[in-house]
Amino acid sequence: MSKPTILILCTGNSCRSHLAEGILRAALGDDYTIASAGSKPAGYVHPLAVKAMTEIGIDLSSHTSKHMNEFLNQPVETVITVCGNADQACPMFPGQVNRHHWGFDDPAHATGTEEEIMTVFRRVRDEIRRVFEAYAAGRLDQSKQRLS
């Protein structure tokens, strides 16, 4: 049996979707395939997103910005959008069973000093962490119930 794929979508695939991807991968482990993509990918992962995740022990340095169309021919069990624009642009994926939308502020739009901007990245990271770790705990509980 193949591992369920969870795809996290955002418009630019440079910040929020990568934060969520890293957190969800760490929380769920190897029994799931976790990926992220964007409806209009920025072409890079924001360096402050990488820095914010490094602070909590999650490495995003190998992540790349991808277009959601790369996943249209793959079985995607769950799609989670983390910004309103991606939720509106989101197509149905083959095999898609679940769809969730949890919107978060875009830290890439933060202004101020580097420390003030970093504070916004940390806040959004922590908000995403709370939501996605709770989601992961629910998925893991479901898996245990099916096995018992």
Q: What is the pLDDT of residues 40-65, one digit of tens each?
A: 999 999 999 999 999 999 999 999 99
- Choice among 83, 86, 131, 136 that is catalytic: 83
> Annotated catalytic, 10?
yes
- Choice among 15, 19, 49, 90 that is catalytic: 90
Taking each helix axis from N to C terminus, what angle separates 47-54 and 16-28, rounded to the nearest 10 degrees? Answer: 30
> Annotated catalytic, 15?
no
Distance CA 105, CA 117 (A): 12
> Annotated catalytic, 83?
yes
Distance CA 4, CA 78 (A): 8
- Choice among 6, 10, 49, 68 that is catalytic: 10
Percent of the chain with pLDDT over 70: 91
Per DSSP bridges, beta strands 33-38 and 78-81 are unpaired
**Average pLDDT of span 107-129:** 97
pLDDT digits (tens, 9 = 90+) for 17-36: 999 999 999 999 999 999 99
Structural domain of residue 142, as residue ranges?
5-147
Which amino acid makes up residue 85? N
Into how many domains does the chain fold? 1
Give the CATH number for residue 133: 3.40.50.2300
Give 7's pLDDT tier (boundaries 50, 70, 90): very high
What are the CA-CA distances from residue 139 to residues 37, 45, 69, 95, 134 (Å)? 21, 27, 26, 18, 9
